[in-house]
Structure formats: C-alpha cells, structure tokens
Amino acid sequence: MAKTKTTYFCQSCGYESPKWLGKCPSCSQWNTFVEEIIEKANPSVPDWRQPTNGSTSMQRANKAIPVSAIAYDEEPRIPTQDKELNRVLGGGIVPGSLVLIGGEPGIGKSTLMLQIALNMPHLKVLYVSGEESERQIKMRAERIAPAPQPPEGGAVRNRQSPIGNKSEIEHSTSDISLPLEGRVAEAFILCETSTQNIFKQIEQLQPDLVVIDSIQTLHSAHIESTPGSVSQVRECTAELLRFAKESGTPVFLIGHITKDGMIAGPKILEHMVDTVLQFEGDRHHVYRILRAVKNRFGAASELGIYEMLGAGLREVSNPSEILLSQRDEPLSGITISATLEGMRPMMIETQALVSDSPYGTPQRSATGFDTRRMNMLLAVLEKRCGFRLGAKDVFLNITGGIRVEDPAIDLGLAAAIISSHEDMPIPFKTCFAGELGLSGEIRAVNRIEQRIAEAQKLGFEQIFISKYNLPQGGQDKKRIDLSRYDISVKTVANIEEVFSLLFG
C-alpha cells in the first residue's frame, strides 16, 4: 500500500510544515496554513510517458558534463499568427517552453488561447479544458472563427479515445478544423482534469502544442488533495514541466489570480515556468494589454495590445492611434510624450489638471503614473522655475488605461502641468521625450532615434529632446544624426529653456 502523511502548506507562498503554524516563517502571513494529505506515489504508477519495451528498470542517473561537451543546435522558434504574442514572447514560441498566462476573470485568457490554438497552421494543438464542456468551447470557436458548413452536416467530429476499455470512463477528444488562408489548422479539444488521463491522450495524439485551461483545475493521482491546493498545483506543474522539457513540446498554462492581483497558488509556480504573462485591462473597456513579467527567452518588458470585439481579440498594430485622442481645438494641460514599452515606441497622451484647492489641503492624484515621481516633478517646478504649486490640486492621467514607468515622459508631464497652471495650450503636433533631473536639467533617454521616427511617422512637426542625446565635443559620433529626419528636433538643456520656447 502507498504510504500517506499529513502536512501543512502556506496558501500564500507554499511553505511546508509538519504542524500548524499561526504565522508563516517564510512570507510572514497569518492564518494561511491548511492541512493537506499527501500520498507517496507507488513506483508502478505510470508517469506521463511509459517505457516502450514494457521494462520497469530504473532510469539511468544523469552525470555532470562540461559545457563544451553539450551538443546544441539552435532550434527555430514557432511563429504564431498573432504578432502581438510573438513580440511579447520574444519572437515566437520556444520549443519545450512552459508559459503561464494570468489575468482577472472574464479578461479574455481562454479566448486568447483558443484563438491561438485555432490559428496554428500545420500544427496539431491540444486544448485541455477543465472548466468548460466541448459544446461551450465549440460555441466560442465558431464565434472567434466561423467554420464553413460541411457538405454532410456536422462541423465537429467527436471521436472516442482508443485509450482504455469499456469498463473505464472514456474521454472524447473533439477535432475542430477551421480554414486559415487556404491552410488547415487542427485543434483538438479535451475536457479532462486528471493529469494521468491527459498524458495518455498526449501519448496517443502526439500534439505540437498543448494548452491547459486552467492549472488550478488539474489534479494528480499522486497527491490526495483537492484541485487548486498548493500541493496539487505544484505537482501538476512539475509533471507538465517534465513533459515539456523531455519531449520538446511547448505548453501554455492559464492561471487564476487572487483578489490582490497575484497568480493563485504558491509563488514557486512562477519560478518553475519559463515565461509569465499578465493579461491586464478593464472588463468594461475594449482594450487589453498582454505584458511579460518574466521571460527566459526574451525581454521581460515587452507589451502587446489587443481590442476585444464580438469576434474575439484583434491585434492593435499601431497603439499610438488608440492612445491619442482626436481634438478639434487646442486644450490646456494636454501633451504628447514618446515612450518605449520593450522595443516598441509609442506616443501617449499625458493630461494634467491644476486648480485651486477649495479645502485648504491640496490633493495629489495620478492615474497610470507613480505618485511619488509626480511629487518630485512638482517640487522641481516650484524650486527651479518659481511656479507656486504648493496650494494647488494636481491631477495627472495617462490616457488609454496603461501604466507608464518610462522616465522619458517627465518632460511631457512637466509641460502639461505648467500648461494647465497657466491655462495656455501646447501647440499642435508637438511631442516630448526627456527625463527631468532634480536640478531642472533635461537628461538624455535611450533609443531616442526610435522615438523621433515614431513621432515623424505619426505626423508630428516638432519634438523636444535633451541636447545630451546629440554628440558633444570630444565625444564619439555614435548617438544621433538629425539630418535623416524631416521633423523639427528641439534640443534643450534645462526646464527653463523648454518653457521659454513654449510660452515665451
């Protein structure tokens, strides 16, 4: 008989203890320990892959080898039809990678993954769902990509799995074939929560990509605890990780989040996977943001933007167009700043409102921007430029519902604050890209050429940048060549020079 034992796990960080504790010694959270029963697995229990010859001999232990002796052939990434996902992943899906996607309920995680599964040409994709039935998934699949009417009726062909016998529960796998630019993309749907049955289907189907929706619904027979518990999430993820690394098949995991916005389950879940993607946005608005939080195969600062429509998620190839509002007349307190999200330049609209404080205590509020950095900008404007903002209410807003941490928008925000304070609008077709220092100087920002090129492409007439982005005397000529641009580039050294050029 298999041995069983009882242990306690912290629901916040996954810390294991043989007895109940009031305070977790790892994350210092109170009353987070729950009791779980762990079953020591029998060695005869099959893992995700059975030996082909039926032998039960022990697996040979790995040996340490030098790095120079490791055979390495660079494998090409698997491109998807979704350019935004390719950008966030770093150029495509890496074979054998384990990707975790988290987000709020109803944000569109399942829609995004089903859309990817239905649009992978010449690849066999297995979509495993533990939350929906086959008919529910088929309804969404037809809404995302309507299939043509078959000649004899019935677009979905339900097939019984050859795995198992009549005495066992048979799990059906539905094959959804949809047209894609003259090519056929195969997507197989499996409604199952047991990892052992999922791996049996994987052995039979041999898919090129596996999508799990969601990791909190899976359970392994090796652990006697409820699905979604710390031990179950950790064990199921470990089994999928071994499968992905040993078979070279990429696996996407959809994860739930808690009310604090963190991915549900132990923190070790994010450490085990190769890539962590966060799907953000307001369910009541149409735009969604896919942000890379962790990426072992690319930059962890990339950003993808989608628009939620009735037919699924649409890629937004030019986010500057949705982040800039159309105005018929100039308004005070509004500026355009050139920012970077990963390798993508974007033009965003920064808004400021400065008014007298009616209650004596001034209010400071920022949406999409760090409030502490806003207070620093206000202190610089009051100290270096002489603007009396201490008794004023100041409100900042980054349009589009995104959060920006790029310091290059400091100059645009400072100009917006003074524009609202003086009630003087900024001229049309003017944008800014510069970091504001504590002494009032305009510091240089990175990749300024991409920002200038994006502003020129969108039709701006002038852009304010730091003069330190240009080659200085005695330095090498490696920074920027203004002769290649048609846009007027205004180089400034300090904040006083900016205001003299804007407002006279």
Residue 476 has pLDDT above 80, yes or no: no
Question: Alpha-carbon torsion 307, 312, 313, 314, what sign?
Answer: negative
Whether 110 has a binding-site annotation, put simply, is: yes
* Residues 367 and 475 reside in one and the same domain: yes
* Residues 342 and 360 reside in one and the same domain: yes
Whether 3 has a binding-site annotation, put simply, is: no
End-to-end CA distance of the chain: 87
Residue 72 domain-assigned (yes or no): no
Whether 261 has a binding-site annotation, put simply, is: no
Whether 360 has a binding-site annotation, put simply, is: no
Residue 44 has pLDDT above 60, yes or no: no
Whether 312 has a binding-site annotation, put simply, is: no
Single out the residue of 442, 449, 342 nearest to residue 402, CA to CA. Answer: 342
Most confident of 8-12, 482-486, 496-500: 496-500
- 8 A C-beta contact, residue 448 and residue 465: yes
Residue 443 domain-assigned (yes or no): yes
* Residues 237 and 373 reside in one and the same domain: no
Burial class (CB in 10 A: 0-12, 13-18, 19+), 55: exposed
* Residues 110 and 225 reside in one and the same domain: yes
Of 317, 345, 360, the residue at which a domain comes to its end is: 317
Residue 156 domain-assigned (yes or no): no
Range of the domain at 484: 323-503
* Residues 137 and 261 reside in one and the same domain: yes
* Other beta carbons less than 10 A from residue 440's beta carbon: 18
Using one digit for the tens of pLDDT, what is the confidence trace for 371-387? 999 999 999 999 888 88
498: tokens are 């900016």
Using one digit for the tens of pLDDT, what is the confidence trace for 67-98? 888 777 677 889 898 989 998 998 899 999 99
Of 317, 343, 377, the residue at which a domain comes to its end is: 317
* Residues 288 and 352 reside in one and the same domain: no
Residue 65 domain-assigned (yes or no): no
Residue 477 has pLDDT above 60, yes or no: no
453: tokens are 């090129």
Average pLDDT of the chain, as a whole number = 81
* Other beta carbons less than 10 A from residue 353's beta carbon: 18
* Residues 310 and 332 reside in one and the same domain: no
What pLDDT shows up at residue 1?
A: 46
Residue 157 domain-assigned (yes or no): no
Residue 240 is part of a domain; what is its CATH number? 3.40.50.300
* Residues 267 and 399 reside in one and the same domain: no
Residue 53 domain-assigned (yes or no): no
Single out the residue of 298, 297, 314, 296 nearest to residue 306, CA to CA. Answer: 314
Tally the C-alpha atoms within 13 A of residue 391's C-alpha that lie toward its C-beta.
5
* Residues 478 and 414 reside in one and the same domain: yes
276: tokens are 């962590």
Tally the C-alpha atoms within 13 A of residue 502's C-alpha that lie toward its C-beta.
32
Whether 386 has a binding-site annotation, put simply, is: no
Single out the residue of 213, 248, 230 nearest to residue 101, CA to CA. Answer: 213
Q: How far apart are CA 79 and CA 209, in angstroms?
A: 12
Residue 339 is part of a domain; what is its CATH number? 3.30.230.10
pTM, two decimals, is 0.72
Of 283, 317, 351, the residue at which a domain comes to its end is: 317
* Residues 135 and 203 reside in one and the same domain: yes
- 8 A C-beta contact, residue 416 and residue 449: no
Using one digit for the tens of pLDDT, what is the confidence trace for 398-412? 987 788 889 999 999
Residue 238 domain-assigned (yes or no): yes
Q: How far apart are CA 187 and CA 173, in angstroms?
A: 10
Using one digit for the tens of pLDDT, what is the confidence trace for 330-354? 789 999 999 988 778 889 999 999 9
* Residues 309 and 413 reside in one and the same domain: no
| Mean pLDDT of the 287-298 span | 88
* Residues 350 and 255 reside in one and the same domain: no
Q: Based on C-alpha coordinates, what's the Rg of the chain? A: 28
Q: How far apart are CA 242 and CA 425, in angstroms?
A: 59
Q: How far apart are CA 241 and CA 235, in angstroms?
A: 10
Whole-number percent of the chain with pLDDT over 70: 82
How many domains, the chain?
3
Residue 70 domain-assigned (yes or no): no
What pLDDT shows up at residue 161?
A: 33
